[in-house]
Amino acid sequence: MTISAISHYRGGTIEQVIPVAKRLKAAYLKHGIVYRLSRFESGPNAGDWFVMVTSDQMAQDRLQAAITQDPDCQQAFAEIATFAKRISREVVVDLEL
């Protein structure tokens, strides 16, 4: 099964976010993790960021350990924290239909 972490961030301009997101996406891809970034364009969250990180549920523990040890991921996390704040994070499991 697939597991996804869905996060809502507030802060950061497109010019700040895109370069860091590209580096994080590349770092995640090395571990087999899919990274998707979107920007809210309407409603009360306009200008905020929607991030979805997807991986195989069976490999979740191994992937968490790998990310913790990956300097590229850790550097990106630290940089993101300088301009954006995570508002929420939800974890969902895809259902096979």
Domain positions in the chain are 2-88
pLDDT given at position 97:
85
pLDDT tens series, the chain, 97 aa: 899 999 999 999 999 999 999 999 999 999 999 999 999 999 999 999 999 999 988 888 888 889 999 999 999 999 999 999 999 999 999 888 8
- CATH number for 2-88 (one of 2.60.40.650, 3.30.70.100, 3.40.50.12280, 3.30.70.260): it is 3.30.70.100
pLDDT given at position 91:
95
pLDDT given at position 70:
95
pLDDT given at position 61:
82
- Whole-structure pTM over 0.85, yes or no? yes
Strands 34-39 and 49-56 turn out to be antiparallel
